[in-house]
Structure 1
Amino acid sequence: MLEEGNVPRVPGQEAPERDPAGPSTPAAAPFLDRIKEEERVALLASAHLDQYPAGTVICHEGDAPNALYIVHSGRVAVLKEVQDGHPVLLGYRGPGEILGEMSLVAQQPRSATLVAMDDTALLHIAAPDFPHLAAAYPGIYRAMLSVLSDRLQEADVARTTVVQEERGLAQRLEMVTGEAERLAEMARVHKETLELVVHDLRTPLTVINGCLDMLRHSLPHDTPPAVFQLLEISQRSTQRLTDLSECLLETAKREATKEELGHRPLNIGGLVENAVECSWAMARGSNVDLQIQVPPNLPAPQGDPAQLQRVLDNLLENAISYTPSGGQILIAALPVNGEVQVSVTDTGPGIPPEQRHRIFERFVRLPGARSRRDGLGLGLYFCRQVIQAHGGRIWVEPGPENVGSRFVFTLPVEQAKEPADA
């Protein structure tokens, strides 16, 4: 008979308890239905009823084949160890099903671990008793072999299904790989086409703009003002086409090739000062005051200074365009939780909440700019691309006391460093 101490169990679980009243026939027993009544009676007479609380390990993979089990009630999980040490669930066994028949017949160590999933009762037939029982009642042995044959057939079906699924996955992977190559080729052709279009546009646009400029300077002084106004509109439109083609090319190039960014310490204070210097004339002409608030010991994140300079230039130009005469713009930077946070805050009309998620998309431009040049709606989209490529975030929020807008972006700092040289 199986001793209590030989039954493996989960730490903290009680050992299986024997029912002194003896076993009774399960309500539904597929294995027992395959044997005759006298064989069933003899089998049950040789069995003990063991109780296993939920979570108890009944036996481990590799244990000696010391018993045959028949599930009386409850549910048992059959687990198989794999190379990474994590068990794989092979299935469940319910009332009337047998367990451990394969190792018992082959006299090999158990090939799986059995765990009680619910409070479970098992009919336990000791291994030394089984050969005598099978010799006296051959129908028991035949029924067990029949169950074993059925399970082997189920395993064959499962293996066939796995092979079919693997073939299907391989075909889908091949399709995905082919689609990825096709998309990469389309992106390359798209980029090359844009380069050709921009190149073909740049020369005539430059010629047109130069001719318009020569015409404007060659007109007599008594030329009607309306003519000069028309020339100015023509030059602005020509410049807008030039800017649009250049922005489209740069955006498509970044999307198609994932252009590699430079990687060097960034002097955020120097970049801010450069942006203010370049925008000073525009701000003065709009009667807008520019202020800088950058601490001298700001950590230096890693990144591409040229790309970040364009981000600051775009944000500052946008702020000036939307700030009314007499307004103020603050460009600030400070370290926050392992990042450098840079912000551009204006005193303009602000951005409605329902529009804040859209302004970083392509070709989106909100009304209300004071600049005479029409925007292209690509500046903030470019800013988002660059900041995300640096591993940072960019967003817009209301300014202090809900006045104006505050554009914020962050750049991760690998470790605190001395500010880089300007």
Structure 2
Amino acid sequence: MYEIGEHGMGIFGGPREPFSFNMNAEIFIFGISGPIATALAVGYVRYLLKKETRTRQELETLNAQLEDIVAERTAALEARNRELAQVNAELQQLDQLKSDFVSLVSHELRAPLTVINGGVEVALQEADLPPRVQHALQTILGETNHLTHVVQTILDISRLEAGKLQVTCGPVAVRPLLENAIKGTLGASNRPLVWDVDSNLPPLWADEVYTEEVVRNLLRNADKYAPPGTPIHISAHQQRDTIQIAVTDHGPGIPQAELPHIFTRFHRAHTGENAPTGWGLGLYFSRKLTEAQNGSIQVETPVWQDAHAPGTRVTVTLPADITPEA
């Protein structure tokens, strides 16, 4: 109406203007298009509101479903954890029972073995023993000494696992320790030895008795698996504030698949009728004793470029007793 009055009748104070395209366009824009645009905008806003409401409802439904799923899975996981905890407790109890049984049997065996050893040693002092009897007694003494060592190892392992094994560290001379270990294991054999020990090595900071036992275990394994007549290499070198003692043989080596299990209790890399006898405790006990002295132990194989005798090297790393200069 404003546009008609303005253009057609001049009633708003201005001169009367003839109708024109501009007037028609303004009438269309303001009189028709405006309400349509408003209606479209309102409709679109309503559409967005409905869509937002529907989306929110769907999200609420989805959240509720997810909460139900999470609650269900959490309950199942808690039930599974309880089952695993119960199984773990039962396994720990069985392991403790086994350890107690082994310890009890070992204690019961140690006393009669000591009596047998003493009796055989007394019998061997007789001067008029026939050679066959003397040989038999020496065989008995060797086997009882071996069994005594196994029993003592089992007892030490039980005490170590129970935290009752006393490890007393102090300065330990390397060369005398190695010589004593060799004398106690290879003294009666004709096994050639190759020495590679640094001069002027500082002492170890370790328990002398248990460190010598570790070296003895390594020497026994090397002597057990290496062919007769092949040398055993013994080395000791300083690496910063540690000393590395290594025993290397010319034996069959260790299969790569067995390396991750080589320090497992009662595990043996070589089995079968022709395999050397053993209990699978030497390397396990050696690792435990070494770690109790803040050291480490590693196995390397192959060592030599020989398909039939690739060899094995076991290296023990222990702290050196390095006293700062005044």
Which TM bucket (shorter chain)?
0.5 to 0.7
Match of 1:240 in 2: 146
Q: Would the aligned equivalents of 1:360 and 1:381 in 2 still touch at CA under 8 Å?
A: yes
Select the structure that is richer in helix: 2
Q: Would the aligned equivalents of 2:290 and 2:318 in 1 still touch at CA under 8 Å?
A: no
Q: Would the aligned equivalents of 2:193 and 2:234 in 1 still touch at CA under 8 Å?
A: no
Is 2:166 the counterpart of 1:257?
A: no
Match of 1:345 in 2: 248
Q: How does 1:94-113 map to 2 (within 5 A)?
A: none
Letter in structure 2 aligned against 1:331? I
CA drift at 1:395: 0.8
Q: How does 1:78-97 map to 2 (within 5 A)?
A: none
Q: Structure 1 residues 312, 281: closer, same or farther in 2, change over 3 A?
A: closer
Is 2:194 the counterpart of 1:286?
A: no
Provide runs of 4+ in structure 1 moved above 6 Å. 258-261, 365-369
Select the structure that is richer in strand: 1
Of 144, 152, 166, the match for 2:74: 166
Match of 2:59 in 1: 151
Q: How does 1:333-372 map to 2 (within 5 A)?
A: 333-335=236-238, 340-346=243-249, 349-352=250-253, 354=255, 357=259, 362=266, 364=268
Q: Would the aligned equivalents of 1:205 and 1:242 in 2 still touch at CA under 8 Å?
A: yes
Identity level (%): 21
Q: Any unmatched runs of 5+ in structure 2?
A: 1-35
CA drift at 1:197: 1.0
Q: How does 1:20-419 map to 2 (within 5 A)?
A: 133=42, 138=46, 140-217=48-125, 221=128, 223-254=129-160, 256-257=161-162, 262=167, 267=172, 270-280=173-183, 283=186, 285-287=188-190, 288-289=192-193, 291-296=195-200, 306-319=209-222, 322=226, 324=228, 329-335=232-238, 340-346=243-249, 349-352=250-253, 354=255, 357=259, 362=266, 364=268, 376-387=279-290, 390=294, 392-398=296-302, 405=311, 407-411=313-317, 418=322
Distance in 2 between residues matched to 1:385 and 1:363, nearest whole Å: 15
Q: Would the aligned equivalents of 2:254 and 2:312 in 1 still touch at CA under 8 Å?
A: no
Deviation string, structure 1 residues 312-356 (Cα, Å, up to 9, x no partner): 22223444564755x65443233558864322235xx43245387
Q: CA RMSD in A?
A: 4.3
CA drift at 1:236: 2.6
Distance in 1 between residues matched to 2:106 and 2:168, nearest whole Å: 29
Q: Say which SS state the counterpart of residue 351 (structure 1) adopts.
A: coil
How many residue pairs match? The answer is: 276
Q: Say which SS state the counterpart of residue 296 (structure 1) adopts.
A: coil
CA drift at 1:281: 7.0
Distance in 2 between residues matched to 1:232 and 1:412, nearest whole Å: 37
Q: Structure 1 residues 351, 383: closer, same or farther in 2, change over 3 A?
A: farther
Q: Would the aligned equivalents of 1:266 and 1:303 in 2 still touch at CA under 8 Å?
A: yes
CA drift at 1:157: 0.9
Letter in structure 2 aligned against 1:179? V
Letter in structure 1 aligned against 2:197? Q
| Higher normalized contact order (CA 8 Å, seq sep 6+, divided by chain length) | 2
Q: Point out the more displaced range, 304-313 or 201-210.
A: 304-313
Q: Any unmatched runs of 5+ in structure 1?
A: 1-44, 47-128
Q: Would the aligned equivalents of 2:301 and 2:312 in 1 still touch at CA under 8 Å?
A: yes
Distance in 2 between residues matched to 1:275 and 1:184, nearest whole Å: 38
Deviation string, structure 1 residues 9-46 (Cα, Å, up to 9, x no partner): xxxxxxxxxxxxxxxxxxxxxxxxxxxxxxxxxxxx99
Distance in 2 between residues matched to 1:345 and 1:308, nearest whole Å: 17
Q: Would the aligned equivalents of 1:275 and 1:316 in 2 still touch at CA under 8 Å?
A: no
Q: Say which SS state the counterpart of residue 315 (structure 2) adopts.
A: strand
Q: Say which SS state the counterpart of residue 343 (structure 1) adopts.
A: strand
Letter in structure 2 aligned against 1:309? E
The structure whose Rg is larger is 2
Distance in 1 between residues matched to 2:176 and 2:64, nearest whole Å: 73
